[in-house]
Amino acid sequence: MSNRKFVNEIFNTPPKSYWIDSTAETNYPALDKNINVDIAIIGGGIVGITAAYLLQKEGFKVAVIEANKIAHGTSAHTTAKITSQHGLIYNNLKKQMGEDKAKQYAEANESAIRFIENTVKENNIDCDFSLKSAYIYTKDNNYIKAIEDEVDAAKSLGIDAYYMKEIPLPFTVKAAIRFDNQAQFHPRKYLLAISNEISNKGVKIFENTRAVDIEEGDELSVVTEKGFKIHAKRIIISTHFPFYDGKGFYFSRMYVEKSYIIAIKTNEPFPEGMFINAEDPPRSMRSQRYKDGEMVIIAGENHKVGDETDTNSRYNNLIEFANETFKTQNILYRWSAQDCMTVDDVPYIGNLTSKTPNIYVATGFKKWGMTSGTAAALIIKDLIVKGDSPYLPVFYPSRTDISASAEEFINQNADVVKELVTGKLKAAPKDFKLENGEGRAVEVDGKKIGAYKDNKGNIHMVDKTCTHLGCELKWNDGEKSWDCPCHGSRFSIDGDIIEGPASKPLNHPDEQPNKINPNIFG
């Protein structure tokens, strides 16, 4: 089969995550009445499921609600590396936050690796877990000093780190750093096994149950889309981008990046280890057991959500890299992921705000959610059970010292303002002649709308104002969706929510105009 033929074939079908395709679909019920629990967890990914597992063990009555299916969001679209090696981060952390907080970050993530390893062993979970070394490499002389400094910083924080001049990939490098005793796994096999375990022990799991609000007062209540409520003493928000802001202004302190993943079959075994480069464009690689052999997972091509309309070109770039680097036999899967990025590169884990002692949040994992998300669950469990965590200071959501990242903070908020303003002012063409498979903004009766013509010639129209904060949505041609360039919400061709933080679907142009989330500003 020629390279061109299997490239064409992979684009003839919608993107599909291997993690989802290789596991059975879950079938937990939707919430259909008001309930009372000790702890309500909103979001059924790595944070929510792990937190439920931990808190159930502590004797709490726990409920988990998920807008879609559990372990189906970012946790099912990851590369699934379990590592404390989050790019060249530790030298910068020491400079920006000091050695104590840098050490907290390292220890929290190393503890998360060991927790996953022990949980797999204790529960005999078949999830392709295997210990690996993790490498960051560079082909660029300009990054040699940065890698040298990172090795020194990591060692000073207690990480098992080594400077390398050669790595087991089929090309030469200028320098690399190696962390030992890291790991990889199949995230859905792991999370579905834990979900089954906690469900059998009394944790209530509800799917297709979207939270739209939190009522604060003497008693906390999670309000769902259907009007049912979960009354709880404590609430954990683990919905990727927080659906409820609580005047924490997370929309001004985070942005969302999209990255792309392909899984390929090669003619030669993949070398031992997990790999990522230091320079742009990023290229992440790992192996994965597949049928009677293995496949190679390659990720990269990061960009802000909404900044790219021709997303298929991003997959093509990864395919080109794969063909140049490995003897590619076939392209098995392609999918994409969205990740919340904080302005200082450190997640927000802890109380939602300083005024919400019983509402907790975990977000902003910067593409390293398997480890940081597990660390978040461990930290929040300690906050609930013990009232404190030794790792809280570095992750504290209400931290105010962003001096080192002030430029990034200003740039990201300037981008949001630009999208809010220019998106409204930009004229849409009045020409409604769409080709099959084409989507774009058009003007109808003086209103700017989003229109898509499917392969059968049917027109799908939506009000293209995002229901989160009011930014104008952009068409994603590769995945046939309407994407928000401000905070990453995504909608289907008919306006249904694919990804939050939006909690309301898009209206049809004949209906009332979309309204933004009234809870954003309190």
Confidence (pLDDT) at 431: 57
Among 362, 386, 404, the domain-final residue is 404
Residues 409 and 505 in one domain: yes
Q: Note whether residue 138 is domain-resident.
A: no
Specify which of 60-74, 482-496, 499-513 reaches the highest per-range mean pLDDT. 60-74
Domain shared by 507 and 484, yes or no = yes
One domain, residues 448 and 365: no
pLDDT at 437 over 60: yes
Q: Do residues 247 and 377 both lie within one domain?
A: yes
Distance between CA atoms of residues 388 and 101, nearest Å: 15
- Is 17 domain-assigned? no
Diameter over CA atoms, the chain: 66
Q: Does 203 map to a domain?
A: yes
The pLDDT of residue 478 is: 74
Pick the residue with more confidence: 356 or 472? 356
- Residue 413 falls inside a structural domain: yes
Residues 397 and 409 in one domain: no
- In this structure, of 267-276, 368-377, 380-389, 498-507, the range with the lowest mean pLDDT score is 498-507
Under the banding of pLDDT at 50, 70 and 90, the label for residue 414 is very low
Residue 345 Ramachandran class (φ > 0 left, ψ -120 to 50 alpha, else beta): left
- Could you list the residue range(s) of the whole structural domain that residue 386 is in? 24-78+188-252+345-404
| 322 assigned to some structural domain | no
Q: Is the model's pLDDT at 440 over the cut of 90?
A: no
The values of phi and psi at residue 242, to 5°, are -55, 125
pLDDT for res 435: 80
The percent of residues in the chain predicted with pLDDT above 90, rounded, is 67
The Cα 522–Cα 517 span in angstroms is 10
pLDDT in tens, 150-169: 999 999 999 999 999 999 99
Residues 419 and 392 in one domain: no
Element (H, E) at 481: strand 481-483
Residue 362, pLDDT score: 98
Counted domains in the chain: 2
Between CA 110 and CA 187 the distance in angstroms is 18
Residue 394: strand, helix, or coil: helix
**pLDDT tens-digit map of 87-102:** 999 999 999 999 999 9
Q: Comparing 141-155, 245-259, 474-488, which segment has the lowest mean pLDDT?
A: 474-488
Confidence of residue 430 (pLDDT cuts 50, 70, 90): low
Angle ∠(301,326,288) on CA atoms, nearest 5? 75
Average pLDDT, the chain: 90
Specify the CATH number for the domain of residue 368.
Answer: 3.50.50.60
CATH code at position 462: 2.102.10.10
Percentage of residues in the chain with pLDDT exceeding 70?
90
Cis status, amide bond into 501, omega within 30 of 0? yes
- Considering the domain boundaries, does residue 332 fall inside one? no
For residues 242 and 355, membership in a common domain is answered with yes
The reply to whether 512 and 371 lie within a common domain is no
Task: Judge if 215 and 352 occupy the same domain.
Answer: yes
DSSP symbols for 205-238: EESS--EEEEE-SSSEEEEETTS-EEEEEEEEE-
| Statement to judge: residues 242 and 352 lie in one domain | yes
CA distances from 281 to 52, 139, 260, 276, 301 (A): 37, 12, 12, 10, 6
Predicted confidence (pLDDT) per residue in 441-491, tens digit: 887 777 788 888 888 888 898 988 888 888 888 888 878 888 888 877 888
Confidence of residue 10 (pLDDT cuts 50, 70, 90): confident
Given a cut of 50, whether residue 249 has pLDDT beyond it is yes
Compute φ and ψ for 144, nearest 5 degrees.
Answer: -60, -45
512 and 409 in a common domain: yes
Q: For residues 205 and 44, what is the distance between their CA atoms, to the nearest angstrom?
A: 8
pLDDT score of 217: 86
The verdict on residue 333 lying in a domain is: no
Instruction: Copy the structure tokens of residue 200.
Output: 């059998």
In this predicted structure, what is the pLDDT of residue 498? Answer: 86
Domain co-membership, 352 together with 441: no
pLDDT tier at 425, thresholds 50, 70, 90: very low
- Which pLDDT score is estimated for 308? 65
